[in-house]
Amino acid sequence: MPPSLFVARPPAARLPTWVGVRLALCAALGLPLISGCATPGTQAAARLPSRHQVRLDRLVVKSDFSISDDDPRIRELHDLRDEVRSTLLLPPQRRPVVVYLFQDEDRYSQYMQAAFPNLPQRRAFFIGTPGELSVYAFWGEQVREDLRHEYTHGLLHASLEHVPLWLDEGLAEYFEVATQDAARINIDHAEGLATMVANGWQPDLKRMEQLEDVSEMQRADYQEAWAWAHFLLSESDSGRELLLAYMEELQSPAPPPSLADRIKAEFPSPEERLTAYISTFGAGVGRARVMLGQDPDAEEPLIQPAGASQ
């Protein structure tokens, strides 16, 4: 893995969320790599959460407030770890992931601005350095999905030598959705992709593989990354096997090969196949809306068939 990196929330179409970025953090801060990129600021308000700590295997949660190890959100992260590992056949974690959980957005923002003054404000971060794999988040309305997303980044980087950016974000977007009964459909992504397809958009994994910095990624790129991850994990056994074989190669220090080339060799017309797969998300969107207490017919059309006109 690079000396340090950070990944944040993607831009959202509707919700007040974040543009993700992935940079050489120390370089961004103008610090030498060994000086401790994550050294916190000196203001009292800029302290990391440290009053309470919960440890579950290689998950460490440090918080401003008391939180028990049987708190549903902590247990959920523990379960998520097992699910990510079993789904992707990851090797055992080589390093722990430390989650810093601030009591509110103000405390979080004060710390992030003091510790990482050159970074933009974001709702949550995963920051990996040689010293620590860290998640920063605050206890707010979207803490559940924030923690699931960022902790997935942590698990991938704790287990693999390489994590290509598009796959890093695609899998984090995939696992942040907890509604397995709704086929893990991200409503915003499914609807955004349907609109893109209706407007003639074509997926291009080769282009996605060229992305090296999350600041290059637009919302449509996150949606495409999510779609490829969902497609490979769920569309067919052969797609899942292809992805799992690739994940195994990412355990090696050798630079990862192109997954796009491999998919092209084994899947005739993969772009058309993904586009057709996107058109199947409609039922999952309806179930996801019901599970969220929304009217499943609130907006229309939710999903249009591949190639359909608006």
Please say whether the dihedral angle defined by the alpha carbons of residues 158, 159, 164 and 167, taken in this order, is positive or negative. negative
Nearest residue (CB) to Zn ion, 219 versus 273: 219
Q: How is residue 144 written in tokens?
A: 């559940």
Q: How is residue 213 written in tokens?
A: 């910095």
| 4, 5, 7, 137: residue in contact with Zn ion (rule CB under 5 A) | 7
- Total residues at interface with Zn ion (CB under 5 A): 3
125: DSSP letter:
E
CB of residue 282 vs Zn ion: minimum separation in angstroms?
26
Tokens 């919302």 belong to 219
Any contact of residue 127 with Zn ion (CB under 5 A)?
no
**8 A C-beta contact, residue 152 and residue 175:** yes
CB of residue 138 vs Zn ion: minimum separation in angstroms?
16
Any contact of residue 172 with Zn ion (CB under 5 A)?
yes
Q: Can you state the angle between helices 165-176 and 219-234, rounded to 10 degrees?
A: 70
CB of residue 20 vs Zn ion: minimum separation in angstroms?
5
Strand pairing report for 97-102 and 59-63: parallel
Q: Which of residues 196-215 bind Zn ion (CB under 5 A)?
A: none
Any contact of residue 137 with Zn ion (CB under 5 A)?
no
Q: Which of residues 140-169 bind Zn ion (CB under 5 A)?
A: 169
Stretch touching Zn ion by CB under 5 A, among 4-12, 226-234, 272-280, 284-292: 4-12
CB of residue 172 vs Zn ion: minimum separation in angstroms?
4
**8 A C-beta contact, residue 233 and residue 174:** yes
Binding region for Zn ion (CB under 5 A): 7, 169, 172
